[in-house]
A and B are shown apart, each in its own frame.
Chain A
């Protein structure tokens, strides 16, 4: 199977949709002439023209609102934020409008829209460009939220997101755009709301998603070297999230560490932890451990930023503190 990057996997899904469905179009800042801040849309303007690849002014609230209007009118817009931090100015449109319209109209209106944004810290983009608001959006009813950690999932999830008749937010880990992986040459899709057991084991379950999967896998490798049999689950969808898969795994391993690359407080893993407590408490052989980045504004300084970001060592510490492994 050919190897491609996560960036190209996303582009492939978008390109397929543009080719096969004339109602699909894109809007965003610098997505056309410039090819996108992270080059996901590079070359699409040339191929599909300015009617379908629309560069917008710096006006997030306006172009998300325009996307919602287009979706309500029957098109299938894909809207890109240059950074998930910039989604804040459009939250009224995203939360109040996109997520609520189907309910408020008694099902008469649907909003088949994809909102895409790079997310996460780690490359010295400073406090206002390094955040991970997918964890906020995962709390909003009516909004589906996915966050791939590899090219295979990125392609499968983006295909499903574009076909979904509800608004889907695709949070793309900025540090993983160059991540390579093999992709089969068929038109598979990945169901939104299904987690993936990426590694099977019997001693402990590590759950993460998005960029968090990288330190999680590193920690899993180190634990495996020590003879610990590790099960790793990639959540993939933050809303809805697949608690059943996690409970099944915990019933097997009795130990669990939840790993979130975003800030620890109020993250999606807080919900997972609470649900695990409710659904699997009698299967647990210790506390539900949670790892996240430090709850401070993201520092610009490289050394500080690395300090704030969670890493594989933090995972290993949690495994040791919680379960003595």
Chain B
């Protein structure tokens, strides 16, 4: 029986998608679960699985063409099935005219699905790249363990073992390069004036950020949070839970505080839609993660139901899977975020503003927790502060409303017992 393969919806707000790459050719035998194609959306590149069996009889939509969700892109059937005549699918709407003229496949850079794969930096020193294109990072178990303990992204390490395997000594000798620390901004090794083809992920980031900055009117509200109570609280908490193998980070507390604020002011957990705000019943809090190839913002789904420690575990899990360890990110995590967060504290950043991830209404960006002199009761005393900046969509709410949300966020962190509510 002949069956249609249609452009899947990878998220509630996905209206169109592009075949980044067909992974099977016409005539190939297809089983359920086989990876048929890589689908590129605004946010990511996802592998599409086959839901029927047979032969891939015909590819209707070729690589690089943007089509609407639900469009027939291929047919799967038996060898003697008749393939229905389908009009050559026209590239969808204006988007494709503006941005994605169909290109011959050969002109495309090699695409990698984002969630599960990373490649070693191209500026790596001599040895073999640890991950062949399309493969997972090859690292020994002990190397992975040490990297995790030291907080090193294993994909950034070059492997000198057989077959390019990252070994214990590679991790021990590794020092993060400034290029990596800048994350995403991998400068070419040599400034020779040559062009650098952008990965599909880089191109997607370009499209999404331009769309966000041109369609969502951003404004910014910064609050300085007194972090001394939170840091004391965190130290006590971590001591108490150390035996369970848990450890709460500053960012875990930030996420909890954002969640608390959003629960109080749920307007910010909605999506602007012309004449209405679409409310969301869950808070799916996006967490910006800097991967080797670029930024992704997977969401912690249903974070409003989680305790601080559960958030800590969930974020660690999402982070691992974002790096291809222990599985990959789910479609929901990749596409169903309802609000955003970004943290550059580990880089020493003091204050910054992030770009809203569409179709969210806002994103809160936090910098490092720094020691500063503060005035308490007329006395100068050592204190700890952290700056947090919301980038808010003016269509959703005005400055005063964003300030109230930030005030709630600040209040929670400054009274950290509230984090346990």
- How far, in angstroms, from A285 to B143 measured CA to CA in the complex? 7
B202, chain A: closest CB distance, angstroms: 34
Residue of A nearest to B143 (CB): A285
Interface centre among A282, A284, A286, A324 (most CB of B within 10 A): A286
Mask: chain B, 157-192; 1 = CB below 8 Å from A; 0 = not? 000111001011000000000000000000000000
Residue of B nearest to A321 (CB): B162
Summarize B's interface: helix, strand, loop or mixed. Answer: helix
B130, chain A: closest CB distance, angstroms: 13
Of B142, B143, B161, B168, the contact of A324 (CB 8 Å cutoff): B161
Q: A86 on the interface (CB 8 Å rule)? A: no
* Interface residue total, chain B, C-beta cutoff 8 A: 12
Tell me the residues in window 132-171 of chain B with beta carbons closer than 8 Å to chain A beta carbons. 140-145, 160-162, 165, 167-168
Tell me the residues in window 194-246 of chain B with beta carbons closer than 8 Å to chain A beta carbons. none
Q: A87 on the interface (CB 8 Å rule)? A: no
When A and B form their complex, what is the total count of cross-chain residue pairs whose Cβ atoms lie within 8 Å?
Answer: 35
Contact: A281 with B162, CB < 8 Å? no
Contact: A281 with B141, CB < 8 Å? yes
Q: How large is the interface on A (under 10, 10 to 19, 20 to 34, 35 or more residues)?
A: 10 to 19
Tell me the residues in window 273-306 of chain A with beta carbons closer than 8 Å to chain B beta carbons. 281-286
Q: A323 on the interface (CB 8 Å rule)? A: yes
Contact: B142 with A284, CB < 8 Å? yes
Contact: B142 with A323, CB < 8 Å? no
Contact: A282 with B162, CB < 8 Å? no
- How far, in angstroms, from A286 to B142 measured CA to CA in the complex? 8
In the complex, chain A residues whose CB is within 8 Å of the CB of B168: 254, 285
Residue of A nearest to B145 (CB): A282
Residue of B nearest to A322 (CB): B162
- How far, in angstroms, from A324 to B143 measured CA to CA in the complex? 15
Contact: B141 with A323, CB < 8 Å? no
Residue of B nearest to A282 (CB): B141
Contact: B161 with A282, CB < 8 Å? no
Of A285, A320, A321, the contact of B140 (CB 8 Å cutoff): A285
- How far, in angstroms, from A276 to B161 measured CA to CA in the complex? 20
A317, chain B: closest CB distance, angstroms: 11
Contact: B145 with A286, CB < 8 Å? no
Mask: chain A, 198-210; 1 = CB below 8 Å from B; 0 = not? 0000000000000
Contact: B141 with A284, CB < 8 Å? yes
**Interface residue ranges, A against B (CB under 8 Å):** 254, 281-286, 320-324
8 contacts between A and B (CB under 8 A): A254-B140, A284-B141, A284-B142, A286-B140, A286-B161, A286-B162, A320-B162, A322-B162
**Shortest beta-carbon contacts, A-B, top 4:** A285-B140, A285-B168, A282-B141, A285-B142
